[in-house]
Chains A and B, each alone.
Chain A
Amino acid sequence: MAHEVEQEQHFHDPSNVTNPEHASHHIVSPAQYALVFAALLTGTALTVVAANIDLGVLNPIIALGIACTKAIIVILFFMHVKYQSHLIKTTVAAGFFMFLVLITMTLSDYISRAWGLW
């Protein structure tokens, strides 16, 4: 079986269907990881400090904003998405889009209820 497989993939596939973007095999360095690590710890500290200051409606916004930033750098660097194919990037985006659809569309009911506790 093995020799059959090797024979096949000697003809190359010009329209490159199997790997359209030849996703480059970038290796993220430990130094980059360390920077991200530092940023994450800083973000955590910031979140705790900000929580103790009364900023009214901005509190949850800042907290979520910092959390989103942390998530983004984990995704881009720890999870290598910055260096991956368009397919992977689109997939990640699709996941978060779907999550947002769940939240917002369900919210559309609760926000507009006349009898609700909102």
Chain B
Amino acid sequence: MDSAIANPQADHDAAEHEHEHVFVPQHRHHFATEEQQREAGSFGMWLFLLTEIMFFGGLFFAYLLYRNWYYDAFVAASNQLSIPLGASNTAILITSGFFMALAVWAAEVRKKALLVVFLIFTTLFGLAFLGIKYVEYHEKWEKHHIPGASFDASEFINPSAYGLKENPLPPDVAQKTQMFFFLYFAMTGMHALHMIIGIGLLVWLLARAQRGDFTQGYVAPIENFGLYWHFVDIVWLYLFPLLYLINRHPLAH
């Protein structure tokens, strides 16, 4: 192949306007250019998200299997989840994601005050999501719908006694609602754990953003955290219809 130093000047000029060879203080010496470092960071974060897709994938398959095996039980159990709470949570998380995207923009256009504000809103909406999740979990605790030794399926065997407009299920089918609740807690719990980690990271990013670390041209942490946050959002976008909206019209049959 021709020598790599054949015509450096022409190529150099051509590319010059695209990446100024400006080194931010956070430049790592094993990278040749800022662009390379940024690309590598982004790529690395996407690979990590791929591992998350596969991680949640196992749970999604378990859900697919047991929903098909125990459809009636899943429907009955799903109808006990609150749509207003679930839908609000979905809207809240979407809004949180919106603010995160705006935060990335603010970092890119170097507006520190806006960046901090957007990060704060991202965090607040994230916390609101977790708050509502806590309310929902608490309700399940009260109704003995947490899988394990204290699980009680009587609400599904005899719904009218609890004032519910549902079809009663035979006892052995009703026991399968435990499987639904296990998947509910496992999937939303795993999701919530990722959100808690995310909020922890947000607090750290906020502190650094306030110091001005991300509005001098070095936006990679904000960008890459944004990728993580949006991914967690996407997981919820699937969890909501799959867990809350299985069959909201059972009595129509």
Whether chain A touches chain B in the assembled complex (some CB pair under 8 Å)? yes
A50 CB to closest chain B CB (Å) equals 8
Extra A-B contacts (11), CB below 8 Å, given A64-B241, A78-B226, A92-B46? A5-B32, A14-B4, A18-B36, A23-B35, A40-B94, A48-B245, A51-B248, A74-B237, A80-B104, A91-B50, A110-B68
**Interface residue count on the B side (C-beta < 8 Å):** 69
CB proximity of B13 to chain A, nearest CB, Å: 9
A39 to B: closest C-beta gap in Å: 10
Chain A window 11-51, contacts with chain B (Cβ cutoff 8 Å), 1 for yes, 0 for no:
11111001100111101111001101100110010011001
Interface of A: prevailing SS: helix
Establish whether residues A37 and B245, one from each chain, have CB atoms under 8 Å apart when the complex forms.
Answer: no
Q: Which residue of B lies closest to A87 (CB)?
A: B43
In the complex, chain B residues 34-78 whose Cβ is within 8 Å of any chain A Cβ? 35-36, 39, 42-43, 46-47, 49-50, 53-54, 57-58, 60-61, 64-65, 68-69
**Count of residues in A whose CB is under 8 Å from the partner chain:** 67
B64 touching A107, Cβ below 8 Å: yes
A27 near B105 with CB under 8 A, answer yes
CB distance from B164 to the nearest CB of A (A): 17
List the B residue with the shortest CB-CB distance to A37. B98
Q: Which of A9, A36, A44 contacts B32 (CB 8 A)?
A: A9
Which chain B residue has the least Cβ–Cβ distance from A48? Answer: B87
Q: Give 1 or 0 for each of B82-114: 1 = CB within 8 Å of chain A CB.
A: 010001001100110110111011001100000
Across the interface, do B101 and A33 meet the contact criterion of CB distance under 8 Å? Answer: yes
| C-alpha gap A26/B159 in the complex (Å) | 56
Docked complex: B18-40 residues within 8 A CB-CB of A: 18-19, 21, 23, 29, 32-33, 35-36, 39
In the assembled complex, B142 has its CB within 8 A of some CB on chain A? no
Distance between B41 CB and nearest chain A CB, rounded to angstroms: 12
Q: How far is the CB of A105 from chain B (nearest CB, A)?
A: 10
Query: Residue-by-residue, is A95-118 near B (CB-CB < 8 Å gives 1, otherwise 0)?
Result: 110110011001100100000011
Chain A CB within 8 A of B230 CB: yes
* From B42, B241, B246, contact of A47 by CB (8 A): B241
- Bound together, the chains give a CA A84 to CA B45 distance in angstroms of 14
**A85-B39, A95-B49 as given contacts; A106 in contact with B61, CB under 8 Å:** yes
Check A103–B95 contact: CB distance below 8 A. Answer: no
Most chain A CB within a 10 A radius of its CB, from B6, B249, B253: B249
User: Which B202-253 residues have C-beta < 8 A from chain A?
Assistant: 223, 226-227, 230-231, 233-234, 237-238, 240-242, 245-249, 252-253
Contacts A44-B94, A91-B46 known; A52 to B249 CB distance under 8 Å? yes
B54 touches A98 (CB 8 A): yes
Q: Which residues of A contact B18 (CB under 8 A)?
A: 22, 24-25
Q: Which residue of A lies closest to B5 (CB)?
A: A11
Q: Which of A59, A84, A96, A103 contacts B42 (CB 8 A)?
A: A84
A33 touches B35 (CB 8 A): no
- Out of B5, B42, B53, B68, which one reaches A98, CB within 8 Å? B53
Instruction: Evaluate contact between A1 and B29: CB separation under 8 angstroms.
Output: yes
Closest Cβ neighbor of A64 among chain B residues: B241
Contact B252 A54 (CB under 8 A): yes
Give CA–CA (A106, B57) in the complex, Å: 11
> Given the complex, which residues of B lie within 8 Å of A6, measured CB to CB?
21, 23
Can you list 17 residue pairs at the A/B interface with Cβ under 8 Å? A9-B33, A12-B12, A12-B15, A14-B8, A23-B39, A24-B18, A28-B105, A30-B105, A41-B94, A44-B240, A48-B245, A60-B246, A70-B234, A77-B101, A95-B50, A95-B54, A118-B68
